[in-house]
Amino acid sequence: MLNRRIDLYSYDIYPKVVPVGRKVTVTVQAIDPHLMQDFSYTVSLYAINDAGKVLESNLPCTPLAAPRQGFTVTVTLPKEQEYLLQITYADKARPQANLQFYALEDDLLCRKPLFGEFHAHSFFSDGKQGPAFLAAEYRQHGFDFLSVTDHRRRAPSLLAIEAFEGLELPFKLYPGEEVHPADIRTHIVNFASDNSANKFALKEKTQETWRDRTGDPEWFEELERVKATLPALPENVSADEVASATIVSRIIREGGGLCILAHPHWRYPLRSVTDETTRYFLQSGLFDALELIGGQHWSDNHSQIAYYNQLTAEGMRIPVVGASDEHGVLPVGSPPEKRHYFTEERTLVFAKENSREGIMEAVKGCYSAAMFMPVDQFPQINGCSYRLFKYAMFLLLNYFPLRDELYAVEGRYMHEYAAGTPGAKEKLLRTVADNAYFEDKYFCR
């Protein structure tokens, strides 16, 4: 993820996210204990979108009690946007500081910003690591939730859940699977359903037989039955693909899960799903969300984004997720440290809670964005409103870099716990308890 803004190495400002129209007290504390000591300064308030006008200059400041260095200011912010406190020292040799914070309306303020992975593989299909290892690695790299979605198998996702069962960690694991029945090109991600669509479509697969595409006779009977009920389909839209998606989505939804259309522009070597079929899927409501970013070649991802942009410009409402389609979480490439494949794509979800219901409500309500960030490049945020985009960029620069440092330690202890290291459970739970303050410190709700 991104490094913190330069000024955030020297200062801490909290809360970073505050309500519109309510009086709030904001604290600025110097991290360098000698930075503000015995130096005079003034503090001004700006709004990012007000063309450089000062909202208030020479704000009244209350110094922090020693030994802390810094101050508090009390403000009431008039509208939703990013704001800036500017510290100017009388000694012009000392650098000016610009510290950002954000005011939100209540409908967004009540939502937690979560990074999640909806689509990942373990070595119980064609991934390279086990489910518990994946879980720890994802936490170590800043994620709030994960669903392991192996090909044709739901059981490995349950192994990840079982590995940390009873700990009540803030990092949540949800059941999942990737579904692509016999002779069907469309890939579907089943997120958090109590049902397995693979179990119905392909019989129960093991680690040895997961590549076996043999379908259950009952599946083929149901496929033909559903095909017979379909209306006339547009040109280049396959009845088999539509009937399969109809059955799979029904099974997923009956189990309370989220049905995601996975990487329709993936080429292997031909495109997974035709544009006409993708359009039909999204218009007909067969899917709850589109995997807008999907761990593919950059050209496939950008092709999906372009098609999404066209469909939404035509008036279609399309909830989105971003996913890595991870097949290995250890660094690859040359040099290997330059590419952490699985961290490059993710979903930013603004959910009322980190639960199956909370995440699904947020995604279906278009409170999510698909994020793509190759290593050493800037992040690209797609599939959301400009309102969410602005807030997301603020968090990427001012909040997530700080939070990542805490999650990295939790993830390391999750690795130790999963490996059976003596004392790891106590260290993990103590670290989680120590980190519990973080969200309340930076969000004034």
pLDDT tens-digit series, residues 95-117? 999 999 999 999 999 999 999 99
337 pLDDT band, cuts 50/70/90, is: low
What does the pLDDT average to over 116-131? Answer: 96
Fold agreement between 7-105 and 112-405: no
State percent of the chain over pLDDT 90. 82
Q: Which residues are registered as beta bridge partners of 146?
A: 117, 173
105 against 205, higher pLDDT: 105
> Could you report the per-residue pLDDT of 231-245, keeping only the tens digit for each?
999 999 999 999 999
Specify which of 208-217, 288-297, 405-414 reaches the highest per-range mean pLDDT: 405-414
- Could you please state the CATH topology (level 3) that the domain comprising 7-105 is classified under: Immunoglobulin-like (2.60.40)
pLDDT at 335: 57
43 pLDDT band, cuts 50/70/90, is: very high
Whole-number average pLDDT of the chain: 94
Global pTM value: 0.95
Which run of H or E residues covers position 18? strand 17-19
State percent of the chain over pLDDT 70. 97
- The string of DSSP codes covering 114-134 is EEEEEEE--TTTT-SS-HHHH
What does the pLDDT average to over 54-67? Answer: 94
What does the pLDDT average to over 168-191? Answer: 96
pLDDT at 399: 97
**Which residues does 259 contact at the CB level (< 8 Å), separation at least 6?**
188, 189, 190, 191, 248, 249, 252, 253, 286, 287, 288, 289
Helices (H), 36-118: 106-109
As a residue count, the chain comes to: 445
Q: How many whole angstroms separate alpha carbon 101 and alpha carbon 83?
A: 5
Domain residue spans in the chain? 7-105, 112-405
What does the pLDDT average to over 309-337? Answer: 87
What does the pLDDT average to over 401-429? Answer: 98
345 against 258, higher pLDDT: 258
Q: Reply yes or no on whether the pLDDT at 331 is more than 80.
A: no
Burial of 94 (0-12, 13-18, 19+ CB in 10 A): middle
341 pLDDT band, cuts 50/70/90, is: low
pLDDT at 333: 62
What does the pLDDT average to over 111-124? Answer: 97
Amino acid sitting at position 101 = F
Q: How many whole angstroms separate alpha carbon 33 and alpha carbon 15?
A: 20
pLDDT at 148: 98
Q: Was domain 112-405 assigned CATH 3.20.20.60?
A: no
103 against 212, higher pLDDT: 103
